[in-house]
Chains A and B, each alone.
Chain A
Amino acid sequence: MASVSIRLDGVSKRFDHTVKGEVYAVRQVSLSVATGELLTLLGPSGCGKSTTLRMIAGFEEPDEGAISIDGRDVTHMLPNQRGIGFVFQNYALFPHLSIFENVAYGLRVQGKPAAEIVRAVGEVLELVGLAKYERQQPHQLSGGEQQRVALARAVVFHPKVLLFDEPLSNLDAKLRVEMREQIRALQKRIGITTVYVTHDQEEAMAISDRIAVMERGEVVQDGTAEDLYYRPRTEFVARFIGRTNLLTARVVSAGEVEVEGVRLALAARKPAGERVTLVVRPEMIALLPDAQGAGRIVQRTFLGEKTDYQVALGGAVLQVTAGGEPIARLLAPGSRVAVRIASENVHILS
């Protein structure tokens, strides 16, 4: 693993709540981000992800713990001394300055020579594809363009780390996909250490090297997208990342479990008769037409490239996704099916 760029060590932030008294917005968060890595903080609103990011930026001071950037303790340092670039949700472009002046702001503040400023700003605007926009005012630009200006402004003085706070949530769905690809490409090209905050799990999976899932102020799991999807550590993570079936199974023997009458070859590491919870993703289940089958189709949703089924099996209702089947093979609601679960990807929650 490459060298560590950002390190959070047992960081906590408390707030005084009018009803609940003292509550933790962030609790004992320890994270490290490697140089050049893109780490996403993912979680529902109010989980503390933005507060964590704002503590890294220096807008808020942690009540406990320490934060360091490139080995330097920045816990109580002002934002302007930390060497960070920050991209805000609402872009935060200065409305009284032109695009050029917005991007140049950080360089001007540092007293860089004019020629260097012109060159650097030109370069970075070229990089985000806005070379001709220098004389425009922020309000003349579209949301996506404003976001790119914000990005250019954040990277123009080569900060050590780049921080994003829900940068795409004000854009429409299509633009969001486009922009996240651009952000990822740019990040890789300049190889900058990045922390990215979002509540959108698809966005997180698409853009990140690593994702830290947060719930109620704590990091519940951090790992690659594949880790989180196939080996979630908690029920919360399993439900938050992708769609999932959480099924209660009974251990039959050392190598076998049973779910609603369906037997699976799985090493449960538990004595026979114990109950375990399985994480079964919808696409891991296969349905076979069978008049005597244990399952019954409750609902079918045709989505084109795939078809979603709800299948009643014993006491449970399963989410099943079947992909790219010929029309003739579509199963009608009410018909009976046999249920097969591909056991190699099924994960047992500890």
Chain B
Amino acid sequence: MLLPWYALQEGLDSGAWLGGLWSSEDYGSGFAEVLAQGKWWLSPALLALMGCFGLSLLPIPRERRGTCLAFVAGAGVVLFAAQAWGIGLRGWTAGWLTALFGEMESRQVGIGAGAAVALIALLSLLSIGLALRGAFGGDAFVAGAVTAVATSILLFTAWPILRILLQAFQNGDGAFEPALVIERLSAAKIWSLRCLSGSGRCGVAWNTLFLAVACGAGTTALGLAFALIVTRTSFRFKKTLRVLTVLPIVTPPFVIGLALILIFGRSGLVNQLLEWSLGVPPTRWIYGFQGVLLAQLFAFTPVAFLVLIGVVEGVSPTLEEASQTLRADAWTTFATVSLPLMRPGLANAFLVGFIESIADFGNPIVLGGDYGVLSTEIYFAVVGAQLDYGHAAALALLLLVLALGAFFLQRRVVGGRSYATISGKGDAGLPVPLPKGARRWALSVALPWATFTVLLYGFAFMGGLVKVWGRDYTPTLDHYIKAFAIERSASGLIWSGAAWNSFWTTVTLAAIAAPLTALLGLLAAWLLVRQRFVGRAALEFATMLSFAVPGTVIGVAYVFAFNIPPIEITGTALIIVICFVFRNMPVGVRAGIAAMSQIDRSLDEASATLRGRAPQTLIHVVLPLLRPAMVGALVYGFVRAVTTVSAVVFLVTAEYELATTYIILRVINGDYGLAIAYSSALIALMLAAILLIQLAVGDRRLGRRAAQLQGSRA
């Protein structure tokens, strides 16, 4: 109880709080706040802590002690939460509380180190108590892990999203007005369909939907063409095509949009060529629906490709052979056997494209022009001149509903009866070569597309190497120097480049977040796959759910939830790290679940029979076997944190500026050269990180396979 209860403006490292632990209202520890400042409402949490300490000293039976411990600690947590949300910056947070307890003299700022420690201690005691009672297999470690994962998901995913709901019902002063949400949600700006009759613009909801459907259909068709070529033809450059699948992971989402501007923008290559040769005045046609769609098709086709490779490979060649022996020709076989078998996979790919599209923020903001979609509208509602939180919340709610709807549909499609026919038994069949027509279609679609993708990246890279794109194509390194200059001076190196500040912030925060992401993700995966406990299904649901929430929604939700006490962390680096962790954790969970389902459960059981308890089993058996998955989760956690835009765009401040948001601002200001130079550097860095790791992890896997072969021979 030697830490300040409340959050400090200047942070813990200043040390100024040491002197005021007892006497100062701002710096006081929990006990001091209760005793010296008379903040009685803090006492239940502290009393509960002391009570638990006393309980553990009393000589009572294990089960009774567990019950008491769980009860006291649980009560402590509840009362802690009640006072935290009940008393805010301006005293009681709700009228009926004021009526009940009378006017509040003092006020509360956000919780600080002391309160956080107290809360964690109470939660640990609660889980120990539950474990003593026999829950979670009587294992305190499992109990603690479940409590930790559940609490963090509740606090940093569920609560912010709930907060959006509340915000949508509140008016500007925070009063509760249910009618408002209906008014907000039924606005013509959202639902107008005038664009169909040619007499105006459609609402953002329809814009988003049209775009998402087109994007889903387009990426699915393109992805299928690529997947068919890679798995079903003797095309020579298959391996090169596969490289495409890495691109979207390392590319910040708006880079494609940028490259498109370089080619089709007002001063882009195409417009210049047309003006020069035919005298056509430059147009702005790239800004709007078609531009965003084009960018999204480029950005997300690789994702569909990745999904569909698995789908096409999952179609058993034997079934196609069977069809052939039944006198069907190649085309009939493809149409009546292969395609129907792929149908669930195609639906899945469509929904993935749909979800990616509605969650996309980078491309619409760069290329959208007048064509607003939900994610950009939300941004402008929060950041722009309107500053209408209620409107933003309503839009976010709509986006959330759309995303979750698509997500559940996808789960049903994937969870439904799958025709993927790969089993443990070797499938002796040879894949039937594509019918000529399909082959020609696939090649004629995919090859130009792949070429154009390469061109796009090429232009994006070149854009950073010329003076002013569209006017002065003199080769120069100016943009790179401007961004990444390092000067030598008497006092050492000076990182004078404009990008360094945001670059180091990004790398530092991502590096802090990545291990946390991997750890939390794998811990959750381990609990979900290997442990049986009450609420497991709910926990799994919550983790998967946070996967489906668009970044923009999370960003807005964080702004709403965490800029007022009890958790007041807006504008800090902490909120960005937390956002990284909880945005990317599901990736870790998925990687962990996939890896863990491959490790035989009997290994855990063997460890248990050898008297290893849960933590020992986890550390000595599961983790070493999971190393590849862990490394993977680490890297993807890092890379995704560096390249993300949508969520953090709401959270950055001048002090903690991130690379992507910095670039976006440069783009909005029309400073393409610097933005492109910076993006290229980022892509190169991420690509290097991924390749390095894939090399390392790939080697390990090979080693293991060899070992298994030897084992089976012996």
Interface residues, chain A, CB within 8 Å of chain B?
Answer: 50, 57-60, 78-81, 83-86, 88-90, 92-96, 105-106, 109-110, 139, 153-154, 157, 163, 165, 170
Contacts and interface: CB of A to CB of B under 8 A. Distances in A.
B178 to A, nearest CB: 48
A109 B341 contact: no
Quick one: which of A84, A89, A92, A170 has the most chain B CB within 10 A?
A: A92
A88 B316 CA distance: 12
A106 B341 contact: no
B419 A154 contact: no
Interface string B308-333: 00000000101101111111111010
Given A59-B430, A92-B429, A94-B322, 20 more contacts: A59-B324, A78-B329, A78-B330, A80-B326, A85-B325, A88-B321, A90-B423, A90-B425, A90-B427, A92-B319, A93-B322, A94-B319, A94-B337, A95-B319, A105-B323, A106-B327, A109-B323, A109-B328, A110-B327, A165-B428
Interface in B319-376: 319, 321-330, 332, 336-337, 340-341, 343
Given A78-B329, A96-B341, A89 B428 contact: yes
A50 B336 CA distance: 27
B421 interface: yes
A63 to B, nearest CB: 15
Contact of B321 (A92, A93, A105, A110): A92
A148 B483 CA distance: 72
Contacts of A106: 326-328
A58 B320 CA distance: 13
16 contacts: A58-B324, A59-B429, A79-B321, A80-B328, A80-B329, A84-B325, A85-B325, A88-B429, A90-B316, A92-B316, A94-B319, A94-B322, A95-B421, A105-B328, A139-B417, A157-B327
A157 B322 contact: no
Contacts of B330: 78
B428 A86 contact: no
A109 B326 contact: yes
A79 B326 CA distance: 9
Given A86-B321, A92-B319, A60 B430 contact: yes
A96 B419 contact: yes
Nearest to B425: A90
Nearest to B420: A95
Contacts of B323: 94, 105, 109
Contacts of A57: 321, 325
Contact of B324 (A50, A79, A83, A110): A79
A250 to B, nearest CB: 41
Contacts of A153: 322, 326
A100 to B, nearest CB: 14
Contacts of B329: 78, 80
B325 A154 contact: yes
A57 B427 CA distance: 17
A88 B323 CA distance: 11
B324 A78 contact: yes
A58 B330 CA distance: 13
Contacts of A81: 327
Counting chain B residues whose Cβ lies within 8 A of the other chain, the interface size class is: 20 to 34
A320 B329 CA distance: 56
B341 A90 contact: no
Contacts of B336: 105, 109
Quick one: which of B326, B329, B336, B430 has the most chain A CB within 10 A?
A: B326
Contacts of A79: 321, 324-325
Nearest to B344: A96
A80 to B, nearest CB: 5
A80 B432 CA distance: 12
Nearest to A86: B325
Quick one: which of A81, A88, A106, A163 has the most chain B CB within 10 A?
A: A88
Nearest to B343: A96
Nearest to B329: A80
A212 B490 CA distance: 90
B639 to A, nearest CB: 34
A95 B341 contact: yes
Given A59-B430, A60-B430, A92 B318 contact: yes
Contacts of A170: 425
Contacts of B325: 57, 79-80, 84-86, 154, 163
A86 B429 CA distance: 12
A90 B326 contact: no
A167 B105 CA distance: 85
A109 B321 contact: no
Contacts of A89: 428
A170 B425 CA distance: 10
Contacts of A93: 322
Contacts of B326: 80, 105-106, 109, 153, 157
A80 B327 contact: yes
Nearest to B328: A109
Contact of A88 (B318, B327, B332, B430): B318
A200 B325 CA distance: 25
B487 to A, nearest CB: 55
Interface in B377-402: none
Contacts of B427: 90
B415 to A, nearest CB: 16
Contacts of B341: 94-96
A96 B416 CA distance: 13
Contacts of A110: 327
B322 A86 contact: yes
B324 A80 contact: yes
A86 B321 CA distance: 9
A154 B322 CA distance: 9
A29 B507 CA distance: 66
A90 B318 contact: yes
Quick one: which of B321, B337, B341 has the most chain A CB within 10 A?
A: B321
Nearest to A169: B425
A112 to B, nearest CB: 11
A81 B325 CA distance: 8
Nearest to A105: B326
Given A105-B326, A110-B327, A157-B326, A59 B321 contact: yes
A268 B144 CA distance: 84
Nearest to B332: A109
Contacts of A96: 340-341, 343, 419
Contacts of A95: 319, 341, 417, 419, 421
B207 to A, nearest CB: 36
A348 B279 CA distance: 97
Nearest to A165: B428
Nearest to B423: A90
Contacts of B429: 59, 88, 92
Contacts of A105: 323, 326, 328, 336
A109 B498 CA distance: 67
Nearest to B327: A80
B322 A92 contact: yes
Contacts of A163: 325
A46 to B, nearest CB: 12
Contacts of B327: 80-81, 83, 106, 109-110, 157
Nearest to A109: B328
A139 B419 CA distance: 10
Contacts of A88: 318, 321-322, 429
A83 B430 CA distance: 20
Interface in B394-447: 417, 419, 421, 423, 425, 427-430
B318 to A, nearest CB: 4
Contacts of A86: 321-322, 325
A92 B432 CA distance: 14
A8 to B, nearest CB: 18
A231 to B, nearest CB: 33
Contacts of A80: 324-329
Interface in B116-166: none
Interface string B554-591: 00000000000000000000000000000000000000
Contacts of A139: 417
Contacts of B423: 90
